[in-house]
């Protein structure tokens, strides 16, 4: 399965495509969608949407995994992050891709073994788990971690039971 991993953000939306065949994962591509900060909110969301649609058309992944919103003390920042996340989910859904959501703690736990791992620990494990991958930013690394998290859960018995319901 080709899997699209997403780490949504209004400044930088990290994305990746990995190939997952049984327990073997390989890096295909990754990057960031980074709309100009000078654009209006609606133009930035449009840029994220257009960027994701372009990636989906190029790589044709069959499923997407996205990180859930991390709610912080700044309500305005959380709201804007939610908008970027909603735009990403809509881009996938419009293109007939199921979207699976994972909390930041679950992503870190599945990749590093610790739900409290630091960003550099996550990036180090991603490099180990996906030899040859090229990581240029934290957002890209986070998207790769989300995709790897999904491969762990997609192959689990519990996940398979939930799909059949």
Residues known to be catalytic: 7, 67, 139
> How far is it, in rounded angstroms, from Cα 85 to Cα 8?
5
Question: Which helix (H) or strand (E) covers residue 14, if one does?
Answer: strand 13-21
The answer to whether the beta carbons of residues 136 and 123 sit under 8 Å apart is no
Q: What is the DSSP string of 58-74?
A: HH--SEEEEEPP---S-
Structure tokens at 149: 């998290």
The number of CA neighbours under 13 Å toward the Cβ of 141 is: 18
C-alpha distances in angstroms, 101 versus 66, 107, 135?
A: 5, 10, 22
Element (H, E) at 29: strand 24-33
The answer to whether 130 and 112 have CB atoms below 8 angstroms apart is no
């Amino acid at each position: 399965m080709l899997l699209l991993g997403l780490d949504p953000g209004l400044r930088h939306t990290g994305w990746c495509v990995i190939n997952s065949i049984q327990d073997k994962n390989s890096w295909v591509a990754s990057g960031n969608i980074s709309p100009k900060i000078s654009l209006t909110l609606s133009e930035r969301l449009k840029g994220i949407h257009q960027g994701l649609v372009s990636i989906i058309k190029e790589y044709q992944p069959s499923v997407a995994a996205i990180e859930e919103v991390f709610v912080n003390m700044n309500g305005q920042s959380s709201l804007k992050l939610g908008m970027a996340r909603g735009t990403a989910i809509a881009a996938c859904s419009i293109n007939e891709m199921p979207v699976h959501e994972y909390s930041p703690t679950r992503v870190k736990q599945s990749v590093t073994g610790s739900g409290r791992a630091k960003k550099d620990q996550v990036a180090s494990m991603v490099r180990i788990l996906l030899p040859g991958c090229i990581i240029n930013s934290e957002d890209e690394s986070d998207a790769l971690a989300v995709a790897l998290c999904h491969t762990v859960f997609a192959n689990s018995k519990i996940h398979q039971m939930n799909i059949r319901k």
